[in-house]
Structure 1
Amino acid sequence: MKRIGITGQNGFVGSHLYNTLGLTPDKYERINFDREIFDESEKLDEFVRQCDVIIHLAAMHRHPDPEVIYHNNVDLVKKLVTSLENTGSKAHVVFSSSSQEEKYNWYGKSKKEGRELLADWAERAGGKFSGMVIPNVFGPFGKPNYNSFIATFCHKLTHGEKPVIDNDGEVKLIYVAELVQEIISQIENEGANTFYEVPHTSVNKVSEVLQKLENFKNLYFDNGEIPGLESSFDLNLFNTFRCYFDIKNHYPVKFIQHTDPRGAFVEVIRLGIGGQCSFSTTVPGITRGNHFHTRKIERFAVIKGKALIQLRKIDTDEVLDFYLDSNEPAYVDMPIWYTHNIKNIGEEELYTIFWINEPFNPEDADTYFVEV
Structure 2
Amino acid sequence: MRKVGITGQAGFVGSHLYNTLQLYKDEFELVPFERNYFENKEQLDAFVSQCDTIVHLAAMNRHPDANVIYETNVGLVQTLLDSLRRTGAKPHTIFSSSTQEERDNLYGKSKKEGRAFLATWSQDTGAPVTGMVIPNVFGPFGKPFYNSVVATFCTQVARGEEPEIHVDGDLKLIYVGELVQEIINVIRKRTSEPNYIVAHTAEAKVSEILALLKNFKTVYQDKGEIPVLANNFELNLFNTYRCYMDIANHFPVKFTQHVDPRGAFVEVIRLGMGGQVSFSTTVPGVTRGNHFHTRKIERFAVIKGKALIQLRRIGTQEVLNFELSGEEPAYVDMPIWYTHNIKNIGEEDLYTIFWINEKYNPDDPDTYFENV
* Both structures adopt the same fold (TM-score exceeding 0.5): yes
Distance 2:92 2:186 in 1: 9
The one-letter code sitting in structure 2 at the alignment partner of 1:135 is P
Equivalent residue number for residue 197 of structure 2: 197
- Using the TM superposition, give the Cα deviation of residue 190 of structure 1 relative to its aligned residue in structure 2, in angstroms: 3.2
Instruction: Work out the CA distance in 1 between the residues paired with 2:266 and 2:116.
Output: 62
1:254 Cα offset (Å): 0.5
Q: What SS does the aligned partner of 2:23 have?
A: coil
The farther-off stretch of 333-342 and 149-158 is 149-158
Query: What amino acid sits opposite 1:65 in the alignment?
Result: D
SS at match of 1:137: strand
Q: Which residue of 2 aligns with 1:353?
A: 353
- Which position in structure 1 is the counterpart of 2:324? 324
Q: Where does residue 21 of structure 2 map in the other structure? A: 21
Asked whether 1:209 is paired with 2:209, we answer: yes
Paired with 1:319 and 1:112, the residues of 2 have a C-alpha distance of: 41
The whole-number CA distance in structure 2 between the counterparts of 1:165 and 1:191 is 41
Q: In structure 1, what is the equivalent of residue 34 of structure 2?
A: 34
Measured in 2, the distance between the counterparts of 1:228 and 1:65 equals 42
Unmatched tracts of structure 2, length 5 or more: none
Q: Give, as a single letter, the amino acid of the residue that structure 1 aligns with 2:110.
A: S
Q: How does 1:38-49 map to 2 (within 5 A)?
A: 38-49=38-49
Distance in 1, matches of 2:44 and 2:127, equals: 17
Task: Identify the residue that residue 230 of structure 1 maps to in structure 2.
Answer: 230
1:199-246, Cα deviation, whole Å (9 max, x unpaired):
001110111111111111110000110011110001001000100011
For residue 311 of structure 2, give the secondary structure of its aligned residue in structure 1.
Answer: strand
Deviations, residues 149-170 of structure 1 (Å, cap 9, x unaligned): 1111111111121111111111
The runs of at least 4 aligned residues of structure 1 exceeding 6 Å deviation read none
> Displacement, 1:193?
3.2
1:206-355 correspondence runs (5 A): 206-355=206-355
**Which residue matches 1:123?**
123
Give, in whole Å, the separation in 2 of the partners of 1:322 and 1:69. 43
| Deviation of 1:121 (Å) | 1.2
Which piece of structure 1 moves more, 161-170 or 282-291?
161-170
Counterpart AA for 1:205: K
**Which residue number in structure 1 is paired with residue 175 of structure 2?**
175
The alpha-carbon deviation at position 47 of structure 1 amounts to 0.4
User: Residue type of the partner of 2:198?
Assistant: V
SS where residue 23 of structure 1 aligns?
Answer: helix
CA deviation profile, 1:10-39 (whole Å, cap 9, x unmatched): 100000111111111000001111111111
How far 1:98 moved relative to its partner?
Answer: 1.1
Amino acid at match of 1:191: T
Instruction: State the partner residue of 1:56.
Output: 56
CA distances 1:164-195 after superposition (whole Å, capped 9, x unpaired): 11111111000001111111111012334341
Q: Is the 8 A contact 2:156 2:163 kept in 1?
A: yes
Aligned to 1:188: 188
| Shift in Å, 1:102 | 1.1
Q: 1:108 Cα deviation (Å)?
A: 1.3
1:97 equivalent in structure 2: 97
Shift of the alpha carbon at 1:273?
Answer: 0.5
Cα deviation digits, residues 126-166 of structure 1 (max 9, x gap): 21100011000000111111111111111111112111111
CA distance in 1, matches of 2:115, 2:191: 18
Q: What percentage of aligned pairs have identical amino acids?
A: 67
Q: Which residue of 2 aligns with 1:86?
A: 86
| Structure 2 match to 1:106 | 106
Quote the Cα distance in structure 1 between the aligned partners of 2:113 and 2:53.
21
1:104 shift after superposition? 3.2
Give the Å deviation of 1:320.
0.4
CA deviations on 1:27-82 (whole Å, 9 max, x unpaired) are 00011111111110100000001100000010001101100111111111111001
Deviates more, 1:144-153 or 1:349-358: 144-153
Q: Distance in 1 between matches of 2:77 and 2:190?
A: 23
Structure-1 separation of matches of 2:151 and 2:104: 26
3-state secondary structure, aligned to 1:196: strand
Question: How high is the TM-score relative to the length of structure 2?
Answer: 0.99
The answer to whether the Cα contact below 8 Å between 2:308 and 2:322 also exists between their aligned partners in 1 is yes
Number of equivalences:
372
Q: Is 1:12 the equivalent of 2:27?
A: no
TM-score by length of 1: 0.99
